[in-house]
Structures are given as structure tokens and as C-alpha cells.
């Protein structure tokens, strides 16, 4: 008896659940768009002030609101400081296991990246898009940290991880790849051997050094996109006339295929990626500490000289 025979409502329901984003993702997107809207609105409304030369801002009608110690300007500074301090909670979540009740590391990383992108923009608005003295040094360090964070996220996603976000061993990676090929085969009707042939990454020369590893990672990204497109064309070509696969299933197959081929490429590049990731940590942390010290000194001086409306 075929163990796959029988009605398929359960499988369909599972696919619908997999395709539907979790509530936490929807909430995060809403918060991101809300914050983006507020930032864009303030920049649009205050464009005349921000574009005015520093010497002429003293007489600008928006100065009481948008100057660094103004109502809106300082509120932006408080928001930027809060988000900046929040960034330092992520390393604590990674280090201490007893904090797992606060959420998974992957979810913390998503918020960490979002905050890291918004902090430099909001801090720049607080400074009136002018960077001089100590705040200029702190902002420069903050901008470097934000840019390096984007690179770090790229490297992080190139280390093989399971669906829980934990790193996979080579054996676990092989097992997950087999499972993914089976799911693609069940959804597309293609034989597992044909799928593995279509998604097999091209042989590459041994990579050496930091730049060689990064160059190969980018080449793998391009190769993965081309291979997945080839697989989708093969699926559409072999489908009987009038029975083309629906778009939702095609998207699911493409997602599984990218995951399967990504695991293969990541295992091949694992040692090199981990070396680059260690080098990234060495460069990222000192700049983050420098930015933190500059921000704390700036805040302390502002409070000490009375440049606040709340103190």
C-alpha cells in the first residue's frame, strides 16, 4: 500500500501554514514601516531647516523644534539612544542561556539589525544632519558599525543553520539536504536525482584569503539564482498542458531549492566563511565600543550643561 496515498487536506494545510508569515514577523514589519513613516515625515517636514546653512538656522522658524536640544530634536536623540543601548542586549542574549525566555537568538538578531539601521538615521536627524566635534567622531563610528552589521548579517546567513537558527553539523546538513530534495520532488514531480543534478553547484577552485572567500560567496549567490530559475523552467516544461503548477507551489519549490543549494554551497565554503566571520568580529566590536563611549560622553555633557528640556 502506498503510504502517500489518500486525501491531502493535511498536507495542503501544512503548506498554507508554512507560506503564512508568523505573527511576530507581521508585527515587526508594521513597526518598521511605522518608524520609517515617522522618520520620512520629519525629514520631509523639516527639509527647509536641515538644508539651511548652519549660520542661518538661528532665525529659522523650525529651530525651536528641530535643533538638537529642541522638542523634536531631543526626542529623536532619546529614541536614538534607547535603540543604541538596545543593540547591546543582543550580545547578552547570545552569551547567557538563562535569557532564552526572552525569545530566540534569530528573532533578537532581526531586531538588532533593524535597530542598527535606524539608529544612524535618527541620530543624524537629532544632530540636524551636521556632524562636528565629538559627535562627529561618534557618528562616524556608529555609521561604520551599521555598515559592518549589514556585512555581518550576510556572513551569518552563509553559515549552515537549521530552522531553529542553530548551527548545523556537516552530518545534520546532509540529512536536511536529503529532506529538502524529497520535499521538492513531492511538490514538483521530478525525480530526486534530476533535482540534485539541476541544483548541483559548479566546481570551483580553492579560495584563498579574505577577498577570495567573499568573491566566491557572491559567485555562489548568482549561481544559486540561476540554478533555481533553471529548475522552475524544467518544472513548467514537464507539466502536462493545462495542468501548470500554481504560483504558491512554485514559490514554495523555489524557496526549498534555494535552501537546498545554499546548504551545499555553505558546507563547501564553511571553513572560509568562519574565518571571515572571526575577522569581522575583530573589526566590528572595537568600533561599536568606540561609538558607545562617544555617545555616553555626548549625553553626559548635554545633561551636565543643561541642554535638555526634561532635566
Predicted pLDDT of residue 46:
92
Q: Does any domain span residue 9? A: no
- Predicted confidence (pLDDT) at residue 10 exceeds the cutoff of 90: no
Statement to judge: residues 157 and 214 lie in one domain: no
Predicted pLDDT of residue 79:
92
> At a CB cut-off of 8 Å and minimum separation 6, what does 15 contact?
248, 249, 252
Predicted pLDDT of residue 18:
45
Q: Does any domain span residue 18? A: no
Predicted pLDDT of residue 44:
93
Cα 123 from Cα 138, distance rounded (Å): 10
Statement to judge: residues 67 and 123 lie in one domain: yes
> Half-sphere exposure (CA, 13 Å, Cβ side) for 256?
26
Statement to judge: residues 157 and 287 lie in one domain: yes
Among 14-23, 88-97, 241-250, the least confident range: 14-23
Tell me the average pLDDT of the chain: 77
Structural domain tally of the chain? 2
In contact, 48 and 62? CB cutoff 8 Å: yes
pLDDT tens readout for residues 137-181: 777 887 888 877 777 777 777 666 655 555 666 677 778 878 888
Statement to judge: residues 257 and 292 lie in one domain: no
Statement to judge: residues 118 and 248 lie in one domain: no
Q: With bands split at pLDDT 50, 70 and 90, how would you rate the model's confidence at 30?
A: confident
Among 15-19, 55-59, 194-198, 294-298, the least confident range: 15-19
- Predicted confidence (pLDDT) at residue 196 exceeds the cutoff of 70: yes
Q: Does any domain span residue 19? A: no
Predicted pLDDT of residue 171:
73
Predicted pLDDT of residue 292:
85
- Predicted confidence (pLDDT) at residue 195 exceeds the cutoff of 80: yes
3-state helix, strand, coil in the chain (%, to 5): 75, 0, 25
Q: Does any domain span residue 149? A: yes
Statement to judge: residues 80 and 100 lie in one domain: yes
| pLDDT above 90 coverage of the chain, percent | 9
Mean pLDDT of 212-225: 78
Predicted pLDDT of residue 61:
92
Statement to judge: residues 81 and 176 lie in one domain: no
Mean pLDDT of 220-226: 83
Using CA of residue 138, residue 144, residue 150, residue 155, what is the dihedral sign?
negative
Statement to judge: residues 156 and 187 lie in one domain: no
Statement to judge: residues 202 and 121 lie in one domain: no
Statement to judge: residues 229 and 199 lie in one domain: yes
How far CA 239 is from CA of 25, 172, 190, 246, in Å, comes to 34, 33, 10, 11
Q: Does any domain span residue 112? A: yes
Cα 55 from Cα 52, distance rounded (Å): 8
Statement to judge: residues 112 and 45 lie in one domain: yes
Q: With bands split at pLDDT 50, 70 and 90, how would you rate the model's confidence at 289?
A: confident
- Predicted confidence (pLDDT) at residue 47 exceeds the cutoff of 60: yes
Of 129-138, 163-172, 208-217, where does the model show the most confidence?
129-138
Statement to judge: residues 30 and 153 lie in one domain: yes
Q: Does any domain span residue 7? A: no
Predicted pLDDT of residue 13:
44
Q: Does any domain span residue 247? A: yes
Quote the domain boundaries for residue 118. 24-53+60-161+281-304
Q: Does any domain span residue 17? A: no
- Predicted confidence (pLDDT) at residue 113 exceeds the cutoff of 60: yes
Amino acid at each position: 500500500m502506498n503510504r502517500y496515498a489518500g486525501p491531502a487536506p493535511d498536507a495542503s494545510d501544512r503548506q498554507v501554514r508554512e507560506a503564512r508569515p508568523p505573527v511576530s514577523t507581521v508585527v515587526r514589519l508594521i513597526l518598521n514601516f511605522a518608524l520609517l513613516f515617522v522618520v520620512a515625515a520629519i525629514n520631509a517636514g523639516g527639509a527647509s531647516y536641515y538644508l539651511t546653512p548652519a549660520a542661518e538656522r538661528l532665525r529659522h522658524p523650525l529651530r525651536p523644534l528641530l535643533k538638537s536640544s529642541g522638542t523634536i530634536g531631543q526626542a529623536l536623540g532619546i529614541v536614538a539612544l534607547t535603540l543604541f543601548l538596545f543593540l547591546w542586549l543582543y550580545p547578552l542574549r547570545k552569551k547567557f542561556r538563562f535569557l532564552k525566555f526572552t525569545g530566540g537568538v534569530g528573532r533578537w538578531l532581526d531586531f538588532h539589525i533593524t535597530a542598527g539601521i535606524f539608529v544612524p538615521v535618527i541620530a543624524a536627524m537629532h544632530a540636524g544632519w551636521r556632524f562636528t566635534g565629538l559627535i562627529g567622531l561618534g557618528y562616524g563610528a556608529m555609521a561604520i558599525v551599521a555598515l559592518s552589521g549589514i556585512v555581518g548579517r550576510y556572513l551569518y546567513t552563509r553559515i549552515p543553520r537549521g530552522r531553529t537558527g542553530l548551527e548545523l553539523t556537516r552530518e545534520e546538513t546532509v540529512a536536511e539536504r536529503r529532506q529538502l530534495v524529497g520535499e521538492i520532488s513531492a511538490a514538483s514531480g521530478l525525480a530526486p536525482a534530476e533535482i540534485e543534478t539541476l541544483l548541483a553547484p559548479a566546481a570551483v577552485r580553492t579560495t584563498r584569503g579574505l577577498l577570495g572567500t567573499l568573491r566566491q560567496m557572491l559567485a555562489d549567490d548568482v549561481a544559486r539564482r540561476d540554478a533555481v530559475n533553471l529548475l522552475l523552467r524544467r518544472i513548467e516544461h514537464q507539466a502536462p498542458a493545462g495542468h501548470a503548477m500554481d504560483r504558491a507551489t512554485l514559490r514554495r519549490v523555489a524557496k526549498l531549492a534555494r535552501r537546498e543549494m545554499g546548504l551545499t554551497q555553505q558546507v563547501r565554503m564553511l571553513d572560509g566563511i568562519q574565518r571571515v566571520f572571526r575577522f569581522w568580529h575583530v573589526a566590528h566590536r572595537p568600533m561599536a565600543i568606540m561609538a558607545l563611549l562617544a555617545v555616553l560622553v555626548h549625553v553626559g555633557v548635554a545633561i551636565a550643561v543643561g541642554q535638555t528640556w526634561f532635566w
